[in-house]
């Protein structure tokens, strides 16, 4: 299930091409397909949607997110189900 | 569609010469044509417009934006359509 | 009981595979099984639950948490008992 | 018009000797002639005026501004016209 | 009394195995036995108690505290006496 | 008038022995004679006065100010005249 | 009077063994005898007293203060006289 996660960035590598929830420091939440990341946790999401109370607030397309603002990253399938 | 994005900065490189929405930490939003960026995500936009509720608040011309203040960067065409 | 803790990261190493409480700067609390960490205190938790007043707020699955947001990490068994 | 801007700092180099608007993180705005800058975006302005609602609040003379506080820098001619 | 303190970290070294009060940036206070620290002031406390108005709020067990959140560290015997 | 300012720190070097206004991030203002500075913009002022609304709030003597808190530094003669 | 201050840290070196006022970012003030400091401005004070409105709030003993929280450091004799 969570095989092969030796270092934290492994989980981001496993998430490439999958839909993730990205939660930022100020409380913003984005859902999108993870296209790329780097060691600073800078991210690029495709089909990015800014979320508010589990509803889409606006569609943002291919979006660059600066890593130092990221609080946590979860699989969208799990994170959006139970909120 | 999003070919050739291996690293997060690739999406900024692809956005050069295109109109982007830049969202800063304190909530400020700018729209302008991306002229240049560096690894600190310092940006230069041309024809920069400071936005407020999808309306132009003021025109700023060629503007340098410090990277550590950037939260996310999206294509202006998508980001401004659905807000 | 706490043998073999020479450096702070040793306690994280001892916690691998165990359930921990992770408290973030903005007040968010997560409980989950520690899968991985690095020297920046970036963490991956499995079966992550976001907590609010000792109750589960939402289930997040395998979650990456950025280290610079972490305030403290405790064993979940102790931390959730007495709150 | 914006020729020769390869990197973000090029626009600061082009602005030397010209009047710029400097907007800081806490909301302070300064107008002055850009005398010098470095890679940390530390700035020196001449004839610096602290602005409030497009009016001069106080005159500060030759002022050193610490780069980590800078949010954006624009040409004063454009930025002050439309506010 | 305070012999042998040449550098600030010496006082942490002298405090190993003793009960300390750790005060964090957001106002949280912990009391526990100092097990380990590093140059980033990351700490591990044993028998950690989160304090509120000199009363124990909850017991946290062996706790990792991230150094960048630490404001000050004092001997618990002195700090809790006069508050 | 402002000859010889090639880099931002040159203006601090020119200000040594002169009275400066130092404005900090949280809004505190100090006036004093600049004795020393380093590349982190750590400062030492002599005859330091903490100011509030152009009035002296308290006298602090020879004061060390940590650079990362500094917002801007101006000549006291200009800055205090027009406020 | 202030001879021999070439660099900002010289004033801290001159203050060793003397009573200083340490003012932190969040507004906390400490008075104590400076025992040690390092280049990060980490400090150790002896006989540390947390102050509030020029009155002692609590006695903290030998206290480690993390440098990144320090705003300014003044001689206690001057700073406490005129407040």
Residue F28 lies in a domain: yes
Question: Nearest 5°: CA angle at G50, between G45 and G54?
Answer: 120
DSSP G4-73: T--SHHHHHHHTTTSEEEEEETTS-EEEEEEEEE-TT--EEEEEEEEEETTEEEEEEEEEEE-GGGEEEE
The alpha carbon of A76 is separated from its chain's Cα centroid by a whole number of angstroms, namely 8
Which of the other chains make 3 or more beta carbon contacts under 8 angstroms with chain B?
A, D
For range B9-35, the mean pLDDT: 96
pLDDT, residue C33, reads: 97
Report the chain B residue with the minimal C-alpha distance to residue D72: B65
Residue C3 lies in a domain: no
In which band, very low, low, confident or very high, does the pLDDT at E72 lie, cut at 50, 70 and 90?
very high
**Cβ-based contacts of B43 with chain D (< 8 Å):** 8
User: What is the pLDDT of chain C when averaged over all its residues?
Assistant: 91
Could you tell me which residues come within 8 angstroms of residue A4 by beta carbon, excluding any fewer than 6 positions away? A10, A14
In which band, very low, low, confident or very high, does the pLDDT at A83 lie, cut at 50, 70 and 90?
very low
Residue G32 predicted with pLDDT over 90: yes
CB contact (8 A) between residue C62 and residue A72: no
- CB F49, CB F59: distance < 8 Å: yes
Residue D83 predicted with pLDDT over 50: no
For range G32-50, the mean pLDDT: 96
Long-range contacts of E58-61 (CB under 8 A, 24+ apart): E58/C79, E58/C82, E58/C83, E59/C78, E59/C79, E59/C81, E59/C82, E60/C21, E60/C72, E60/C74, E60/C75, E60/C78, E60/C79, E60/E30, E60/E32, E61/C74, E61/C75, E61/C77, E61/C78, E61/C79
Q: How many CA atoms lie within 13 A of A81 on its CB side?
A: 10
**Cβ-based contacts of B51 with chain D (< 8 Å):** none
Per-residue pLDDT reduced to its tens digit, A12-42:
999 999 999 999 998 999 999 999 999 999 9
Residue D82 predicted with pLDDT over 50: no
Kindly list the residues of chain G whose beta carbon comes within 8 Å of any beta carbon in chain F.
1-2, 5-12, 21, 25, 41, 67-68, 70-75, 77-79, 81-83
pLDDT, residue E3, reads: 63
In which band, very low, low, confident or very high, does the pLDDT at E82 lie, cut at 50, 70 and 90?
very low
The alpha carbon of E1 is separated from its chain's Cα centroid by a whole number of angstroms, namely 19
d(CA D7, CA C52): 46
**Out of C35, C46, C64, closest to residue A72 by CB:** C64
Residue F82 predicted with pLDDT over 50: no
- CB C73, CB C32: distance < 8 Å: no
Q: Enter the tokens of residue G8.
A: 């900002």
Report the chain D residue with the minimal C-alpha distance to residue F40: D66
In which band, very low, low, confident or very high, does the pLDDT at F15 lie, cut at 50, 70 and 90?
very high
**Cβ-based contacts of E1 with chain G (< 8 Å):** 46
CB contact (8 A) between residue E43 and residue C8: yes
**Virtual torsion, Cα D4, D6, D8, D14, nearest 10 deg:** -20
For range B19-44, the mean pLDDT: 96
- Give me the number of domains chain G comprises: 1
Report the chain B residue with the minimal C-alpha distance to residue D80: B60
Q: What range does the domain containing A32 cover?
A: 8-79
Percent of chain E with pLDDT over 90: 76
Residue D42 lies in a domain: yes
Residue D2 lies in a domain: no
Residue C31 predicted with pLDDT over 70: yes
d(CA E35, CA E19): 10
Q: Which of B69, B74, B70, B82 is nearest to B11 (CA)?
A: B74
CB contact (8 A) between residue E77 and residue G61: yes
CB contact (8 A) between residue D74 and residue B66: no
Which of the other chains make 3 or more beta carbon contacts under 8 angstroms with chain G?
E, F
- Beta bridge partners, D51, equal D29, D56
CATH classification of the domain holding C26 = 2.30.30.100
Residue F30 lies in a domain: yes
- The 3 state secondary structure assigned to D6-65 is CCHHHHHHHCCCCEEEEEECCCCEEEEEEEEECCCCCEEEEEEEEEECCEEEEEEEEEEE
Residue F37 lies in a domain: yes
DSSP A16-51: TTSEEEEEETTS-EEEEEEEEE-TT--EEEEEEEEE
CB contact (8 A) between residue F48 and residue G82: no
Q: Do chains C and E touch (3 or more CB pairs under 8 A)?
A: yes
For range C33-62, the mean pLDDT: 94
d(CA D74, CA B30): 12
Per-residue pLDDT reduced to its tens digit, D1-60:
456 789 999 999 999 999 999 999 989 999 999 999 999 999 999 999 999 877 889 999
For range C22-33, the mean pLDDT: 95
Q: Which of G41, G31, G38, G42 is nearest to G74 (CA)?
A: G31
In which band, very low, low, confident or very high, does the pLDDT at C82 lie, cut at 50, 70 and 90?
very low
Q: How many CA atoms lie within 13 A of A78 on its CB side?
A: 18
pLDDT, residue B73, reads: 97
Residue A3 lies in a domain: no
Q: Could you identify the residue written with the tokens 């920069």?
A: B48
Residue G75 lies in a domain: yes
Q: Do chains B and D touch (3 or more CB pairs under 8 A)?
A: yes
In which band, very low, low, confident or very high, does the pLDDT at E78 lie, cut at 50, 70 and 90?
confident
pLDDT, residue F55, reads: 86
In Å, how far is A79's CA from the nearest CA of chain B?
21
């Amino acid at each position: 299930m969570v095989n092969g996660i030796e270092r934290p960035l492994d989980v981001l590598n496993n998430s490439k091409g999958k839909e993730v929830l990205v939660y930022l420091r100020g409380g913003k939440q984005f859902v999108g397909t993870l296209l790329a990341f780097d060691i600073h946790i800078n991210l690029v999401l495709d089909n990015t949607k800014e979320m508010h109370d589990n509803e889409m607030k606006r569609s943002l397309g291919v979006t660059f997110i600066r890593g130092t603002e990221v609080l946590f990253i979860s699989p969208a399938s799990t994170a959006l189900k139970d909120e």
